[in-house]
Chains A and B, each alone.
Chain A
Amino acid sequence: GAVVSQHPSRVICKSGTSVKIECRSLDFQATTMFWYRQFPKQSLMLMATSNEGSKATYEQGVEKDKFLINHASLTLSTLTVTSAHPEDSSFYICSAQRGRESEQYFGPGTRLTVT
């Protein structure tokens, strides 16, 4: 149990376009989902925390108008990278949590390449 999926696993887009990444909890309801970004040979950096039915909370330095997060249901959160630029190329990872005290279950990640 506690499987989290992401779609797509890889995406290439042109500079200036937008791309949407989905994060789904397959066998449990996630009250909270988290979005992380990971550059090559670096650690995971938390971008935002998303609670179902409410606005996401963004970490300092993360532009909320550029990284749109929607958590419309207890099993789905989406991250939309708007007007993508090459510097947005990264590995985006989501995690899902049943409740505040429970473990975070991580998705397999999405590799975004902006050309």
Chain B
Amino acid sequence: GESVGLHLPTLSVQEGDNSIINCAYSNSASDYFIWYKQESGKGPQFIIDIRSNMDKRQGQRVTVLLNKTVKHLSLQIAATQPGDSAVYFCAEKTSNTGKLIFGQGTTLQVKP
């Protein structure tokens, strides 16, 4: 069945370092991918997205990389700050269903 998974359940980084969160997806028909940040007790917050016709997209301090060959997605956060501490989810979407499938989540802990 469809699944989107994350390699590491918890990532601990030092403040100021760069963070890389990885995600594997299994549905080769997925054509849209999104990273969300979820703080405790809150709903998911959109961070950045990428369509399958791209392999890289940059935002403010964040970069998403897409490797369709190995069905891998990553989120890079530059100069990680304490406010970045949260759970990060990748999600995939296919045009034909319109549904988002979420990965398992990675907890990012930023040490001061």
In the complex, which residues of chain A have a beta carbon less than 8 angstroms from the beta carbon of B49? 103
Alpha-carbon gap, A89 to B2, bound state (A): 26
Q: How far does the Cβ of B74 sit from chain A's closest Cβ, in whole Å?
A: 18
The stretch of B14-22, B62-70, B78-86, B101-109 in contact with A is: B101-109
How many B residues touch the partner, as a band?
Answer: 10 to 19
**Chain A proximity mask over B84-101: 1 for CB below 8 Å, otherwise 0:** 000001000001001111
Q: How large is the interface on A (under 10, 10 to 19, 20 to 34, 35 or more residues)?
A: 20 to 34
Q: Give the residue name and chain of the A residue nearest to B99 (CB).
A: A46
Known contacts A43-B89, A44-B89, A46-B100: A106-B45 contact under CB 8 Å: yes
Among A32, A91, A104, A109, residue most surrounded by chain B Cβ atoms (within 10 Å): A104
Contacts of B98 in A (CB 8 A): 32, 49, 97, 100
**Does A34 interact with chain B (Cβ within 8 Å)?**
yes
- A contact residues vs B (CB 8 Å cutoff): 4, 6, 32, 34, 42-46, 49, 91, 93, 95, 97, 100-101, 103-109, 111
